[in-house]
Amino acid sequence: MERLMVVSRAFAAIVAMAGDPNKMGRLRAAIFRDGRADSGGVEGDAVLRAFADGVWNYWRGIDQPGNDRRIREAWSNIEGRLRALGRKI
């Protein structure tokens, strides 16, 4: 159930943040709900950005080669970070 809630919040944040100058901060807050900044620094932001870009492309109907793989790999990395923080996901 935890996983579904986090994924749902992440997808909602991505769709709602078009044009938002603080979109990465909002996505980080949606996934790492307690406001922790230890989502992985620059590497973590790159993973969040890859996930967000992939979901955004799907939402807009853009089918890029490898998009599905990038989303799955990014989400796997995000889940690993959440587990390292003690989340039961």
Spell out the domain ranges in the chain: 2-84
pLDDT value of position 67: 85
Q: Which residues of 61-70 are buried (b: 16+ CB within 10 A; e: fewer)?
A: eeeeeebeeb
Query: How high is the pLDDT of residue 11?
Result: 75
Digit-coded pLDDT (tens) for 5-62: 777 778 777 777 777 777 778 788 888 766 555 556 667 788 888 888 888 888 777 8
Give the pTM: 0.75
Question: Which pLDDT score, from 0 to 100, does residue 41 have?
Answer: 64
